[in-house]
Chains A and B, each alone.
Chain A
């Protein structure tokens, strides 16, 4: 039986939450503030600033969530509060 450490579980969960929110704000707002500068770079015909809003940030959100689900599960297991 694993040692349950609820306090450490919550502080690690909170830390992960802040990391996720910072990434979220980066891909939702921050990079799009530089759209004009990014648009000077072109990849596969896409101006980069446009690409980030049309695809790049969306891809980042999807990948972030799968990594988050895995990461949070690891934390739950290590701190002994995972299900089953």
Chain B
């Protein structure tokens, strides 16, 4: 892609449609060329290299062409991104490597209950559009903490918002870099640590020179790659199987077949009726309370994540901020309403294989391919090859049975091309898509963290007189430092951090949502209320998360009167505790502690709510605190109330002046 004019400049903005159409066409051409090369006998390994290097080179080129020395362009892309393109960029920003690779697998494993994620990660945009985004756009902030500072009386509220922002974004960005490393190492045969730092270079090239402006235009390019990569394999599969290339419609048939196969497998003794979760049956994993609590927390969390909210600072107008949320959801919807189809098709494939009574001696090749990298287990052991499977299942089974098969959630999307017998080029495409999803999300998150440190901490709190050039240099230094620290943490493969990503939604929801929405919708909300509300809401959520996960026994003992442990579970707790206290120091004690702690984690709760939905407690605490404390203390000043009024009206200047910014209020 040769671009003569600068990315993000006038000539670029006037020709967006043409440029991205050429880009998309070029990308398809590239896939076809690699497909032809594969037929000519070029080894798969080089096809994989081709995909990964060329796509990263394109993103890097866009990032470098978007370099800027203007503060307004660096922080908010000059507020000149049209709503449809901002929608695409938000889609890429939002859909992480885990969504791309793992979502269909989660639906495969959980069936109906997994749809809580599909619902939770889409419906939140209704809250963004109605309650938040247009008002933040009118406000004219550079960062989300800017709003807190202006609305709630300065430095302390700003600092609290920064703390919430960093605590919910950092674990998240580590997980993205981890995903980049995983995909790169799997498809390029690089060492994982090396792959992590290679991914880091890709991420920095996209964001460092051009800030938000560069990230925006690479995210649009990344969205196109990721959506093509997600849709193409399953569209081909649907066309092959049912003659209609619309998987979202045809998988209804697959669901019926799955339900029939479930019965058939049980009657043949190839599946265990006790452990099989019928695909369409609700509430097999989560009880209704946890199902709806999870949906609720994911939705409110979505509406509170700073790296998403800041995307709506970049549109030319308040009106476009609103339509941009609609476009964002549309582009996200394209992937999320396809994920259940992926899950259904793979499940049908696997269940058919089991149902026809496959001997363990003639399993299909893909089981060993993924068994070798530890993603498929049979009878509790990695399915490395026929001999390993025979050894693991000896005396248990001679045929493939559902209860002996363990499939990692990442396998479903990665293996679909292979299971359906498609050429390797499609698998390479899927890898490029997963990489695009992880890189784009990492870029958005890194920028959110680095901007909070450079704009909110350095410029607003430490040195308000810093000249533009120095502010931009500081921004870039923070970006680099945060990125390197995140990559270092990712390279250690921290199991805990990865599971903590799910916490980000609850932390963001409890810390940010009440003060943000009341700040716009309730003029009476004042500084003491908001500050206390943020501390108590966030604190409650953090206490619940950490307490139920890391201090489960003491949490349980303190709160057993609020828990839902059955008498049998309570008895088991007492027995395990006694066993741990009686165990001899050393290995025996450690093992006893592990059993005790694991059980304690399953009973430590308030009303049985799982800790992924911790915001269920933090949100009401936050809202009530803000309301009660605000009503007990004096109303905000006339100036603040007028400012809220101005925020509510789209017309007029931005509330916070864009000092030294290139693009002022855009217009058309």
Chain A residues with a Cβ under 8 A of chain B: 6, 9-10, 13-14, 16-17, 20-21, 23-24, 27-29, 32-33, 35-36, 39, 42-47, 49-51, 53-55, 57-59, 61-62, 64-66, 68-69, 72-73, 76, 80-84
* Beyond known contacts A13-B648, A45-B252, A65-B329: 20 more, CB 8 A cutoff: A6-B645, A14-B521, A28-B119, A28-B295, A32-B291, A32-B295, A33-B288, A35-B112, A45-B253, A46-B255, A53-B119, A57-B119, A58-B337, A61-B125, A69-B129, A72-B322, A73-B319, A76-B651, A82-B650, A84-B667
- Given A28, A50, A65, which contacts B112 in the complex, CB threshold below 8 Å? A50
6 contacts between A and B (CB under 8 A): A45-B254, A45-B255, A50-B280, A61-B122, A69-B323, A81-B650
CB-defined contacts of B333 to chain A, threshold 8 Å: 58-59, 61-62
The minimal Cβ–Cβ distance linking B127 to chain A, given in whole angstroms, is: 7
Other-chain contact of A24, B118, B123, B318, B649 (Cβ < 8 Å) = B123
Which of A28, A65, A66, A83 contacts B650 (CB under 8 A)? A83
Those 4 A-B pairs whose CB atoms lie nearest each other, nearest first? A45-B252, A65-B326, A53-B115, A46-B252
- Closest B residue, CB atoms, query A39: B280
Check A68 against B256 for contact (C-beta < 8 Å). Answer: no
Cβ contacts under 8 Å, A65 to chain B: 125-126, 129, 325-326, 329
Q: Which residue of B lies closest to A79 (CB)?
A: B649
Chain B residues with CB under 8 A of A13: 648
Q: What's the Cα separation between A23 and B333 when bound, in Å? A: 18
Q: Across the interface, do A69 and B123 meet the contact criterion of CB distance under 8 Å? A: no
Indicate with 1 or 0, residue by residue over B116-138, a CB within 8 angstroms of chain A CB atoms: 00110011011101110010000
With both chains docked as a complex, state the minimum distance between the C-beta of A29 and any C-beta of chain B, in angstroms. 6
Chain B residues 69-94 with CB under 8 Å of chain A are none
User: B544 on the interface (CB 8 Å rule)?
Assistant: no
Q: A21-B130, A47-B280 are in contact. Are A10 and B326 (CB under 8 A)?
A: no
Main secondary structure of the interface of B (DSSP, over half): helix
B641 within 8 A of A: no
Does B330 reach chain A (CB closer than 8 Å)? yes
Whether A29 contacts B296 in the complex (CB less than 8 A), given A54-B340, A61-B125, comes out as: yes
Q: Are B667 and A24 in contact (CB under 8 A)?
A: no
- Mark out the residues of chain B between 310 and 340 whose CB falls within 8 Å of any chain A CB in the assembled complex: 317-319, 322-323, 325-326, 329-330, 333, 336-337, 340
Q: Verify B256–A29 contact, CB threshold 8 A.
A: no
**Chain A residues whose CB sits within 8 angstroms of the CB of B123 once the complex forms:** 24, 27-28, 57, 61
B153 on the interface (CB 8 Å rule)? no
B534 at the interface (CB under 8 A from A): no
The answer for the CA separation of A84 and B318 in the assembled complex, in Å, is 11
On B, residues with C-beta under 8 Å from A are 112, 115, 118-119, 122-123, 125-127, 129-131, 134, 248-249, 251-256, 280, 282, 288, 291-292, 295-296, 299, 317-319, 322-323, 325-326, 329-330, 333, 336-337, 340, 521, 645, 648-651, 667-668
Task: Give Cα A36–Cα B283 distance, bound, in whole angstroms.
Answer: 10
Smallest beta-carbon distance B455→chain A, Å: 26
Bound complex: CA A36 to CA B119 (Å): 18
A contact residues around B330 at 8 Å (CB): 62
Beta-carbon contact of B667 and A58 below 8 Å: no
- Known interface pairs A27-B123, A54-B340. Does A83 touch B130 (Cβ–Cβ under 8 Å)? no
A81 touches B112 (CB 8 A): no
Are A76's CB and B282's CB within 8 A? Answer: no
B122 lies within 8 A of A58 (CB): yes
Q: Given A9-B649, A82-B319, A62 and B329 touching (CB < 8 A)?
A: yes
Among residues of A, the one whose C-beta sits closest to the C-beta of B326 is: A65
Known: A72-B322, A84-B667. Contact between A55 and B299, CB under 8 A?
no
Q: Closest CB of chain A to B55's CB: distance in Å?
A: 28
Question: B36 to chain A: closest CB distance in Å?
Answer: 36
A62 surroundings in chain B (CB, below 8 A): 326, 329-330, 333
Closest B-chain residue to A44, C-beta based?
Answer: B252
Return chain B residues, CB-CB under 8 Å to A10. 648
The answer to whether A76 and B125 have CB atoms under 8 Å apart is no
Do the beta carbons of A68 and B645 come within 8 Å of each other?
no
When chains A and B are docked, how far (Å) is the Cα of A59 from the Cα of B249?
13
Verify A54–B337 contact, CB threshold 8 A.
yes
**Contacting residues, chain B, for A73 (C-beta < 8 A):** 319, 322
Q: Tell me the bound Cα distance from A16 to B126 in angstroms.
A: 12
Chain B residues, Cβ within 8 Å of A45 = 251-256
Known: A46-B255, A47-B280, A68-B130. A58 touches B118 (CB 8 A): yes
Return B528 CB to nearest CB of chain A, in Å: 25
Cα A84 to Cα B325 in complex, Å, equals 21
- Give, as a whole number of angstroms, the nearest-CB distance from A68 to chain B: 6
Please give, as numbers and ranges, the residues of chain B lying within 8 Å of A16 by CB-CB distance. Answer: 130
Tell me the smallest distance from the CB of B159 to a CB of chain A, in Å.
Answer: 30
The CA of A78 and the CA of B21, in the complex, are separated in Å by: 37
Q: Which residue of B lies closest to A56 (CB)?
A: B337
**B649 contact from A53, A59, A81, Cβ within 8 A:** A81
Q: Determine the chain B residues whose CB is within 8 A of the CB of A33 once the complex forms.
A: 288, 292
| Bound-state Cα–Cα, A61 to B126, Å | 7
* Assembly CA distance A48 to B207 (angstroms): 44
CB contacts (< 8 Å) of A76 on chain B: these are 319, 650-651
A69-B322, A76-B650 are contacts. A43–B667 as well, Cβ < 8 Å? no
Nearest residue (CB) in B for A76 is B650
Give chain B nearest CB distance to A50 CB in angstroms. 5
Chain A residue nearest to B131 (CB atoms) is: A17
How far, in Å, is A15 (CB) from chain B's closest CB?
12
Cβ contacts under 8 Å, B292 to chain A: 29, 32-33
